């Protein structure tokens, strides 16, 4: 194993849209909104301001208040950060995330997280989202490694299956202790 690749939302940071959207719409409507508007943002077709304007028009909430809610949901997991810092001493580390611009870059900068990664592939910047196999190939290409030399973790099982489909070792993130066991099982030295 040469590189450990991390998802961001749901692994390093709390999820955002699953907490904000249900405050304004039914669970069914939130799923549809995520699959349409948020997916367009993750592809880089629209940005955070446009998402907030759209959500405001749909719900009547003020865009600035919606943005504040998005930011209020940002919780960085210090245990995951500490694990990445430890892994970085022996392995290449990378970030592979679906995200809208400029939100993820703003979070990374605010919390001094770019220092953790040798490479970052963010969907809105590449115009491709997980679980499309192309984004995993892009990541391994940027690392200059074969997929089999990379371990990937994500909280979404579909993204884990897609990573395995291109030849990466992958495990669903359910917590830092489980991730440590999964890494050890993959031959990673902690």
Tell me the C-alpha to C-alpha distance, in Å, between residue 73 and each of 16, 20, 70, 118.
6, 8, 5, 26
What pLDDT does 133 receive?
98
**Domain-wise residue ranges, the chain:** 3-14+75-185, 17-72
Is the pLDDT at 19 greater than 90? The verdict is: no
pLDDT value of position 104 = 97
- The DSSP bridge partners found for residue 92 are 3
- pLDDT band for 128, please (50, 70, 90 cuts): very high
Annotation: CATH topology of 3-14+75-185: Rossmann fold (3.40.50)
* Better pLDDT: 41 or 23: 41
Check pLDDT > 90 for residue 146. yes
Average pLDDT, the chain: 96
The 8-class DSSP code of residue 22 comes to G
CA end-to-end span of the chain, whole Å?
Answer: 12
Region 12-31: what's the mean pLDDT?
90
What pLDDT does residue 118 have?
A: 98
Mean pLDDT, range 89-111, rounded to an integer:
97
**Could you tell me what percent of the chain has a pLDDT over 90?**
94
Contact 148, 137 (CB under 8 A): no
Q: Rg for the chain (alpha carbons), in Å?
A: 17
What's the confidence (pLDDT) of residue 44? 98
| Percent of the chain topping pLDDT 70 | 100
Question: What is the pLDDT averaged over residues 150-173?
Answer: 98
For residue 177, give the nearest of 113, 83, 97 by alpha carbon.
83
pLDDT value at position 108? 98
Task: Give alpha helix (H) positions in 46-190.
Answer: 48-59, 63-72, 78-88, 103-110, 123-126, 133-143, 157-165, 176-185
d(CA 49, CA 53): 6
> What single-letter DSSP state applies at residue 99?
-
pLDDT score at 131 = 98
Q: How many CA atoms lie within 13 A of 129 on its CB side?
A: 16
Q: What is the mean pLDDT of residues 125-144?
A: 98
């Amino acid at each position: 194993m040469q590189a450990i690749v991390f998802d961001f939302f749901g692994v390093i940071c709390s999820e955002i849209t699953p907490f904000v959207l249900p405050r304004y719409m039914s669970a069914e409507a939130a799923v549809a909104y995520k699959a349409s508007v948020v997916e367009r943002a993750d592809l880089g077709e629209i940005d955070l301001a446009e998402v907030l304007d759209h959500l405001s028009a749909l719900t009547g909430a003020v865009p600035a208040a919606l943005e504040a809610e998005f930011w209020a949901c940002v919780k960085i997991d210090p245990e995951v950060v500490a694990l990445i810092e430890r892994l970085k001493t022996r392995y290449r580390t990378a970030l592979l995330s679906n995200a809208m611009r400029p939100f993820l870059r703003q979070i990374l900068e605010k919390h001094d997280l770019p220092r953790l990664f040798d490479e970052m592939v963010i969907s809105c910047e590449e115009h491709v989202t997980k679980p499309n196999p192309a984004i995993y190939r892009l990541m391994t290409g940027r690392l200059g490694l074969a997929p089999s030399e990379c371990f990937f973790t994500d909280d979404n099982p579909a993204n884990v299956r897609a990573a395995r489909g291109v030849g990466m070792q992958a495990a669903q993130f359910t917590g830092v202790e489980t991730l440590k066991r999964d890494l050890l099982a993959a031959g990673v030295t902690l």
